[in-house]
Each structure stands twice: as structure tokens, then as C-alpha cells.
Structure 1
Amino acid sequence: MKQVYSQVSTSIPKPFVKWAGGKRQLIPILNENLPRTFGTYYEPFIGGGALLFHILTERNGQKCSISDLNSDLVLAYTTIRDRIDELISSLKNHEKNYRKDSKSYYYSVRESNPRSEIEKTSRLLFLNRTCFNGLYRVNSKGKFNVPLGRYTNPNIVNEENLRSVSSILQTSRVAIKCRDFEAVLRDAKKGDLVYFDPPYQPVSDTANFTSYTNKDFTDSDLRRLTELCNKLDSKGCKVLLSNSDSKQVSDMFSGKPWKLTKVQANRSINSNSKKRTGHFELLIKNY
């Protein structure tokens, strides 16, 4: 009996990229805050997809629609779903070359600009596994600019997880799109659940994080997001939002129907490990 259980438990899909603000450690709290029933699940800032994979695992056949403005990330989801064998073979090639000379190989891949979809996704996953702190960041020109990390034996291929992600994306009804978050308003209907996990507003002047896409998530984007949440609420959608515990965010959601909860969250990405703990963030919902 035990053996069967371990086989099942090892193949639960998990995020295939480490993403700033990733939600893996908050899944128990997010799960408690999900509505008991909902129609389609929408996630317009998909990032690492921790909550998506949790919902797909727990709710068999759940209809989902995920999107992001980061076209490389969206491509990674569709490539893992549709072309997993070719992707794994490309990653194995990266792993072999990295073992020979990690530093020079890392920087040559970072400088490269592959054309094929397989190589683009393979490059993103390779850099994410081997760069400093697993931080995905691009500069104002859209170039990935994170230095090499200090890893003795990074798990570059992570084949088992990639295959379980691929199979759950294939077997489930998941639409994957590259688009701005506001587009969700056209699709979401009464009773659907929309979860927003945008790049967070900085809680201090020094906390500003250079962006995941080369367009920063600005104050005006936050205002657009707040208006969108109110429009979705008036449509009868269930809305759940994660953001930083900042005065700006709590002021914007201070009225009805919004309920705000403070949750403790460790930051998996900070160069100083002492600064990774003791952070609070807000969970905001209308149900």
C-alpha cells in the first residue's frame, strides 16, 4: 500500500520555475481561502503557477484559464504541455555542457538569443536553475541580467516534475494565453474565480524589484487592477488577490465588499537569507 502512495505523491506537479513572490509556501492558507464552489478558474499573472497546480491536483477536471504578459513564460507553459520530450533532451544538453565549465557556459547561454521555441524555453529553465537565487529578471532592454549562482549540483533537468506538469496540462482543460491582465474582464462570468498575484507594490523605497517583464508594474497598473477587481465584483465573479502589506494597497481595498487578511510569508528570493523571513502580505477577497 505504502509503495503505491509514494509513487502517487512524487508525481504531484509543482512550479517548474522559481518566481519572485511564488506562492508554494502559502498554499495551505490560499486553499483555506478558496470559495467552496466556483466556475472557471482564472489566473492572469500566472508566474510559477503554484495555486494552479494545487487546484488541478485537488479538483479533477477543473476548467482553468491562465495568462501572463511575459511571453517567454507563456511559451514555457505551452512548450512543456506540447513538446516535453524535445524540451527534456535540450535541457540534458545544457546540463552536460554546464558540468564541463559552468561559468563560461552559463554566460554564453545568458548572452544567446535562440529562435526556436524549444531552445527559448530550455534557456529560460536552465538560467532559472543556475542563476543567482533563481531570480528571473530582465533589464529595461528586455535582457536577462542575473549573474551565475553558487550551486554545487543544480537540478537542471528535473524531469519527473516537468513530465507531471506536462501531463496535468494535457489532461486538464487549461487555456494558456499571453495578454494583459485586464483582458480577463471579457471572459470571466458570474460565479467564476479570478486570482490575482501581481508584482507587488514595494513596501519601502529600497524594496523596489526590477521587473519580470521589461515593463514595470506601476502605480497606474495598480489602479487599473483595483478598478478591474471592482468591475469583476459587480459582474458576480469571486475575486482573490495577493499583494504586499502596504498602506497604498489596503487603502485601495478599504471599502465594501473587500475583506483583508494579513498573512505571514517568507521571501524565497533575497540575497540576505535573514531578510527572507518575517514578511507579511495581504490576502484580499470579496466573498
Structure 2
Amino acid sequence: MNISPIAPFIKWAGGKRQLLPQISARLPENYHTYYEPFVGGGAVLFALCPECAVINDINGSLVNLYRQIKLSPEAIIDAVEQLDGEAETDRKVFYYAKRAAYNEKMMKGEYDVELAALFLYINKHCFNG
């Protein structure tokens, strides 16, 4: 059920956005569930907007981000807006502090809203983000 395409909200290496015409041409016209083993930025998923989808990726932080968006979208928006609002005049120092906080949470295995927001923030503010 293609309602209207949604653009990926995160940059991801190996994105399939350029391949959408070729991928779409090879999909069956009818299917019950869309399975995406390598969701990344979700270009194919968002272009198709299927009624039922199962997504996965090897990157646990990325999967956590999608899970938190599904479960707590308002909390993610609030957390990211807070990060953007906290950015000091020295953005480089702020970025590295947030990256250190992200790495610490990863070491502890704290897959939560804060980790998801930090992951998204780092993705958007890193080199080429």
C-alpha cells in the first residue's frame, strides 16, 4: 500500500535510494509482508510504505533508533530537539562530548531513547552528516 513516499531521515552508507527504480521493477505486485534485512536509512521501505513490514540491520544502534521511533516518537523528537538546543558555541567540543556519552551508553548496552537520540544527533552532525 503505497500512500506517499517518505524520505529517509538518516544518512547511511550503502543506501539504495539510487537503485529504487531497479528494485521496484523486480518486486512482486502483491505481497503480504515486506521483509528488509538491511534497512539502513530505509530508502526502499519508505518508498514502498508497505502496510506490514519487518525490518532488521546488523547495527544495534540503528535498530534501536527505529524501535524507539516506533514506541516513543515524541520522546525521540524531544530528546533530539534538546540536543540541538544545548549545542554550545563550540560545536566541536559539544559534538565530541555527545559522542563520548553515546560510546559510554554503548559500552553499557543501554539501548534506550537517549541512545537513539545521540545516535541520530551524531549521524546528522558528523563529517558529511
TM-score for both structures, normalised by structure 2: 0.82
User: Which residue identity lines up with residue 121 of structure 1 in the other structure?
Assistant: A
Q: Which residue of 2 aligns with 1:132?
A: 127
Q: Which residue of 2 aligns with 1:91?
A: 80
Q: Which residue of 1 aligns with 2:97?
A: 108
Report the CA distance between 1:16 and its aligned residue.
1.8
Mapped partners of 2:31, 2:85: distance in 1: 45
Gaps of 5+ in 2: none
Q: Which residue of 1 aligns with 2:62?
A: 73
From the two aligned structures, give the one with the greater helix fraction.
Answer: 2
- Tell me whether 1:53 sits opposite 2:42 in the alignment: no
Larger Rg: 1
Tell me the percent identity. Answer: 39
Number of residue pairs matched? 121
- Tell me whether 1:41 sits opposite 2:30 in the alignment: no
Mapped partners of 2:17, 2:58: distance in 1: 21
Q: Which residue of 2 aligns with 1:15?
A: 8
Mapped partners of 2:54, 2:68: distance in 1: 16
Mapped partners of 2:7, 2:42: distance in 1: 8
Mapped partners of 1:103, 1:44: distance in 2: 34
Map 1:61-210 to 2 at 5 A. Answer: 61=51, 63-98=52-87, 100-112=89-101, 113-114=104-105, 115=110, 117-134=112-129
Gaps of 5+ in 1: 1-7, 135-287
User: Which residue identity lines up with residue 98 of structure 2 in the other structure?
Assistant: V
Report the CA distance between 1:116 and its aligned residue.
6.2
Report the CA distance between 1:24 and its aligned residue.
1.8
Once the two structures are superposed, residues 48-68 of structure 1 have per-residue CA deviations (whole angstroms, 9 ceiling, x without a partner) of 111111111xx5x2x221112
Mapped partners of 2:33, 2:77: distance in 1: 31
Deviation above 3 Å: which 4+ runs of structure 1?
none
Report the CA distance between 1:98 and its aligned residue.
2.2
Mapped partners of 2:88, 2:72: distance in 1: 25
Once the two structures are superposed, residues 129-156 of structure 1 have per-residue CA deviations (whole angstroms, 9 ceiling, x without a partner) of 000123xxxxxxxxxxxxxxxxxxxxxx
